[in-house]
Amino acid sequence: MAEEHKKTQISEIEELDAVAKFIDKLKDSLKDILNMILETISGKKIGEDVAQFYESLKTRGLPDEIAIKLTEEYFRKRIEAIPSLNELFKQFTGRRGFTKPDVKILFEKEKQEEKEEK
């Protein structure tokens, strides 16, 4: 029984190693995606965009009351358009997290690639 437990532990360590290698391959893409998301929710960026929108309306001659109302609506829509990180993660992972079978598939694929390299 102890031998079986040890094999299970080794198998789980190998699976985690495969997942770590997989994540390492994805880290640059994930970093770019996260940077893009963080840029879209930057308070400074949103403030600049809203100010430009307001100035554009005023430059075109809209009265203050209408320009303010449209700017408030623009700001509200910008805030609503910011995706939640939870939703993004669900979309990225196919609406679910990694499961043990997923990890096994990654592990088997990694082992197959190593065999093919040799």
Q: What is the pLDDT of residues 52-108, one digit of tens each?
A: 999 999 999 999 999 999 999 999 988 887 766 666 666 666 545 555 555 566 667
pTM comes to 0.45
* Helix 100-117 vs helix 2-40: crossing angle, to nearest 10: 100
Residues 37 and 78 in one domain: yes
Q: How many domains does the chain have?
A: 2
Tell me the two tokens of residue 34: 């996260």
9 found inside a domain: no
Buried b (16+ CB within 10 A) or exposed e, 24-62: eeeeeeeeeeeeeeeeeeeeeeeeeebeebbeebeeeeb
For residues 36 and 77, membership in a common domain is answered with yes
Q: Are residues 67 and 105 in the same domain?
A: no
In a domain, 72, yes or no: yes
Q: Which domain holds residue 46?
A: 29-82
Whether 5 is covered by a domain: the verdict is no
For residue 76, CA distances in Å to 27, 80, 116, 118 come to 32, 6, 54, 57
Q: Is residue 21 part of a domain?
A: no
